[in-house]
Chain A
Amino acid sequence: LVFTEEDKYGLYSNLLFKYFLAEGVLCGHDLFVASAKEHPDNILKELPAPLLDDTSRNGLGEETAVKSEDFQDSMKIAWRYQNLPKMEASPTTSTKFGHYYDVSKTMSPELYESIKWHSFFLPEELSSQTQMKTCNMNSAYARLLQSIQRIIYQEGFDGSDPQKKQKNILRIGIQSLGSILWGDDVCSSDTPEDTHSLTKFLYVLRGLLRKSLSACIITLPAHLIQNKAIMERVTNLSDTVVGLESFIGSERETNPLYKDYHGLVHVHQIPRLNSLICDVSDTKDLAFRLKRKLFTIERLHLPPDLSDTVSRASKQDLAESAKLLSSGCGAMAIGKKHLGF
């Protein structure tokens, strides 16, 4: 269960959401798209087009070749750092995981029409009358659960149909959960009426995911939730929690430290499944940027301080952000440096 905290204007989290679904299309997985504000048909039309294998490999091959040449010269001033392994900001071509996408183009309809996909658009579903046990849960959430469970059962993702030989995976994407469009007021008031609907929904969803061959990504406008206790409980109930903080409209946009990037990636939690340990990486400072065609997540590099003044004006800011990053020490960063979807 992958949980994404949306950035303020939802631009980048939407992008991650579409990447998840697009990867599903290319892998031949089935899709289940649920949303309360955008019709799933429109979401599917806007999925990014995949980059063809040759172009991506060529392009990246050139980049890494250039980099290795640069580092052959021995360092004269910073010679102590010579022995450290070279930092790779971009991915190596040897590990190809998933596909790369061109954000400027949309996926052609033949691609996503070739897979089976199901949709759940809340305004349409509310109009139909169905009986179900709600267990004191918000009715929109209850309907969504009902719908997911029905698809899992009917399509045999939970192994209930022994005749189905070819096992496939169901990728579930739920957009902007917890927002007011789902009938839940956790995002709009400090003391919501029903504090437990969202967490109950997540618990049952977790049960459904564990019991079937499916994976789920949920985006949530976390910045709108005033009751932080709910966010803590939500984090405990999810396997992976990633927060996206975009620089739009914040003071960091003009900060020279961050001029190459569009935002930060906070990894709050990674899954520890079937083992005592979980995947560990060296760095937890991740930032993302949206180039014309690619959306990349990289280690956060500080540009060299070439100004005349000895101290940086924003040292305070940097210290604060470093404190934020280290306070989440319980969570460990994802092993892959670049999330290729």
Chain B
Amino acid sequence: QGKFTLLRDTRTDGSFLVHHFLSFYLRAGCKVCFVALLQSFSHYNIVAQKLGVSLTAAKERGQLVFFEGLKSCLDLLFGEEEEQSGQPSPLQFISTSDLKALFDFVRTSLTPSGSDSWKGPVLLVDDLSILLSLGTTPVAVLDFIHYCRVVVCSQLQGNIVVLVHSNEDSEDEENELVVNSLCHHSDLILWVEGLATGFCKDVHGEIKIIKRLSLELTGEQDHVQIYQYKIQDKNVTFFARGLSAAVL
């Protein structure tokens, strides 16, 4: 409860973790607010069905609040002049660089109403690096995450899971700033990396699981575990380094 998990990928695509967390929290009965900026709803829906969860059903029973960034930006740009119900679009920051509308959207969707019976709220973001491409400053992004943490983690005792891209020799300084700052504040970091030795058919990459025990002020070091993984159609298999099925 009240944890901030950072999903970080380098030289590879970590979106399989997003799909995992989405179906995991939905199956656990939590109320999920999914800010999906990179892909369309049907993409997540099809993958979730393979993992055994139906996003349309979850949306209908009110368990899932799905914000489809790609669709909303079209409404923002090509929609009619009058805004429905006077509420500004959460994607307002494309023109004003102000993330407050997005934060208000998150807060209203996760604040429990009287009839809700879901277990803790969860905020899922895919992915945060896009916000920088759309005209916000790194400080604004960090402020947004901070506000979300206050509301979701502290007040509502919920969890946040955020995906970011990063590269060791990246020249995108703004992105690196955001990623490094988030790393310092996360309770759990799942760092997915492509293999340094090149592409391999049987091992798609390596995942580092870092439990930030040093944040708990008990004097312990961070606990790091490293596994390698291979992605299949409906599943991801994890194994210890060097022990992939192809080798054994």
- Docked-complex contact A282 and B201, CB < 8 angstroms: yes
The residue of chain B having its C-beta at the shortest distance from the C-beta of A237 within the complex is B133
CA distance A153 to B205 in the complex (A): 42
Q: In the complex, how many angstroms separate the beta carbon of A294 from the nearest chain B beta carbon?
A: 28
Complex: A286 Cα to B12 Cα, angstroms: 20
Q: Contact flags (1/0) for B83-112 with A, using CB distance below 8 Å?
A: 000000000001100000000000000000
Q: Which residues of chain B are within 8 angstroms of A326 by Cβ–Cβ distance?
A: 197-199
- Closest CB-CB distance, B225 to chain A, in whole Å? 21
Query: Taking the nearest CB of chain A, how far is it from the CB of B26, in angstroms?
Result: 17
A208 and B11 contact, Cβ closer than 8 Å, known pairs A229-B174, A276-B233:
no
Of all chain B residues, the one with the shortest Cβ separation from A283 is: B199
Stretch at the interface among B38-46, B54-62, B152-160, B208-216: B38-46
| Total A residues in contact with B, Cβ cutoff 8 Å | 40
Instruction: Spot the interface stretch: B27-35, B67-75, B113-121.
Output: B67-75
Binds B, one of A24-32, A59-67, A198-206: A198-206
Binds A, one of B143-151, B165-173, B182-190, B239-247: B165-173
Query: Would you call B232 an interface residue if the criterion is a C-beta within 8 Å of the partner chain's C-beta atoms?
Result: yes
Chain A residues near B200: list those with CB within 8 A.
329
Within 31-45 of A, Cβ neighbours of B (below 8 Å) are at: none
Q: Does B77 sit at the interface, judged by CB under 8 A?
A: yes
CB of A328 within 8 A of CB of B11, answer yes
* A162 in the interface (beta carbon within 8 A): no
CB contact under 8 A between A236 and B130, given known A207-B73, A211-B70: yes
User: Nearest residue in B to A325 (C-beta to C-beta)?
Assistant: B198
Bound together, the chains give a CA A237 to CA B131 distance in angstroms of 11
Return B173 CB to nearest CB of chain A, in Å: 7
Within the assembled complex, what's the spacing in Å between the Cα atoms of A208 and B72? Answer: 11
Known: A203-B130, A203-B134. A273 touches B43 (CB 8 A): yes
Q: Is the CB of A232 within 8 A of B172?
A: yes
**Which residue of A133, A200, A236, A330 is within 8 Å of B135 (Cβ)?**
A200
Bound Cα distance from A77 to B219, whole angstroms: 64
In angstroms, how far is the closest chain A Cβ from the Cβ of B176? Answer: 9
Find out whether the CB atom of A276 lies under 8 angstroms from the CB atom of B232.
yes
Q: Is the CB of A276 within 8 A of B95?
A: no
Spell out A's residues near B (CB within 8 Å): 133, 135-136, 145-146, 149, 196, 199-200, 202-204, 206-208, 210-211, 227-229, 232-233, 236-237, 272-277, 280, 282, 284, 325-330, 332
5 CB < 8 A contacts A-B: A203-B130, A229-B170, A275-B47, A282-B201, A330-B194
